Structure 1
Amino acid sequence: MTDAYSSSRLVAGVRTGQQRSIARMISRIELGAPGVDLELAELYGSAGRAHVVGVTGAPGSGKSSLVSALAASLRRDGKLVGILAVDPSSPFSGGALLGDRIRMSDHSGDGGVYIRSMATRGALGGLARATTDAITVLDAAGMELVLVETVGVGQAEVDIVRTAHTTLVVSIPGTGDEIQTIKAGVLEIADIHVVNKADRDGANRIIRDLTGMLRLGPPTPPGEWRAPVLGTVATEGRGIDALAAALHEHYAFLAAGDGLEQRERAMASARVSAIAQNLVAERLTDSGLGDRAAQILDEVYHRTLDPFSAATALVRVTT
């Protein structure tokens, strides 16, 4: 079997939703296997139909339980669901810690759900390029919704906004820093606020605080989406069907106007920029550039060349 034939079969397997092919393709993406970019290029035209949902929030907010419960609700509606649980990279292997897959084991044996843990590999914002590529694979495989659970939330961790159509921000009561969490850019990135573990004391207060802060912010222009604040108890399934309905409502809202096109154009721009940056970074580490790069860096060291001009010179060498 030739490599080209194997690649063709793999792409065909992904397009028909074969889980073994999906798993192999994502593994090839994570490994940066030769030819994987060409395979992704073939799959790209088959994608573009899935509703991509980002789920972010502070550690301990129950994101994994929420995603698992949400997937169960979507499956009851007959939806095909892909789940990418983005874990912190292992400091030893660079791979993902598989806690999320263990916590989502309730879906084992369901062919309508595909779950994969992926490593951040140190990517700013808790997302790596491999995650975005994996979304394309699940999309091309026919998944109707792709749920992407990120590591956390904060000023530097909003990459999910440039990757998803709908962003859920998950909060919990009783942490003592709810207001600080609200200040950390959360209001700006959330399409839907979810207060999980809403059976705890203080849940009503954080729902009220979030709702109040949304009202105190810039007024929502007529016809624009107003982010709802929903309470859930994921471990008991409470509020999950309402959350699923809000997801559908938000996607329908985007599709009814030009919101969906705007988001997808922004997603495309961010993806192309990330790929271009990766290509330049790869070229900079190319052994063939070693002497020229060393010369430029030596000039910076001796302060005969400023670092800004040096960076420009290195980029020119790589293109």
Structure 2
Amino acid sequence: MPGEDDTSSLSRRRVLQAAGTTITISAVATGSAAAQPDDLERASFLDGRCPEATIEPSMGPCEGASMGACADDHPATVELRAAVEETLEERYPDAGALADAGFKPYFDTLDHDDDGWSHWLSPEYIGDDVMLDPERPESVLVDNESWRSIGVMFIATLEGEAVEAPTVFEAGDDGFPGPVYEAEPLDLEAGGEHHAPHDDHRHEEADDHHDDHDHHEADDHGSDHDDHAHHPDGDPDHCAPWHAHTGLPGRFSWWFYRQAYEQDFADGDLRLPCRTPCMMHVWTVDHPEGVYAHDGPPAEYRDVAPADDPDLETDAEPGEDDLGWDVLPDDLVPDQRPDDFSPFDW
């Protein structure tokens, strides 16, 4: 109603402000004859502010990323994947358990090749002071047919802010070194190939946080990472399978999450970022491209039994109805869905 505080909901006007001018976005989306080169250059996903940005889905390695040592049979990979699998089986086996734990669903709107799986994001874990913690994954990946969890997506954030992606393990490690508690900030607006400006600010040591979670204490976990320096891109002796999205679908998904679930509009943050934070997958189902594959596993690799009676207030059934906004209970659906803001509909 007029005059009510609507900072918790998204409006089409605000999305247009985030992505560029109304005329520009409409022209790009509809292919109208009114679309001129100057209009395209003004769009925030094509202008000089974000030189790497594309309209189509695109991603690339983060600074220092390497798949060189990321073999599926490396002891660190085996240990990390087993820890992730244990977390999913015991705590987050399906969409119902994720909803109960406060995870927020996101179904890709602009990427029409998402191939039947969705991201469920945890504001709590994105906003905490640890990353690469198998017990606290920032996002869980869910098969939309069975409603079962099939992997996780770690996001390089500390206290809700993007940071440089760390090395996961070295080739000579005999196991997974553990979670990470500090890293340099990463500017998602900076130009260049996912590079972060270096400054002297660092997050405080984990033992200064007085966290009441035992597994957060640096004395018990993650100290092995202190000896893992930031390596050159593609270093064959370390594993850092991090990627960032520069295409419009990925940038929009991170922007939408921040607006819908962290209410960045209240702080005046309206623009799409130039890229997402760094992300990495750990798949617990077989994947032809490996445990850390950037893309989702083909459907035949996600042939898992439907979830057993997930605790969701819906008439839909796993295995019969695909998971999506239309089958979720109202309390899991944001006031405005991503579909409401698709530039292909403007």
Confirm or deny a common fold (TM above 0.5): no
**Which has the bigger relative contact order, CA under 8 A and spacing at least 6?**
2
- Which structure has greater helix proportion? 1
Q: With the length of structure 1 as denominator, give the TM-score of the two structures.
A: 0.25
Q: Over alpha carbons, which structure has the higher Rg?
A: 1
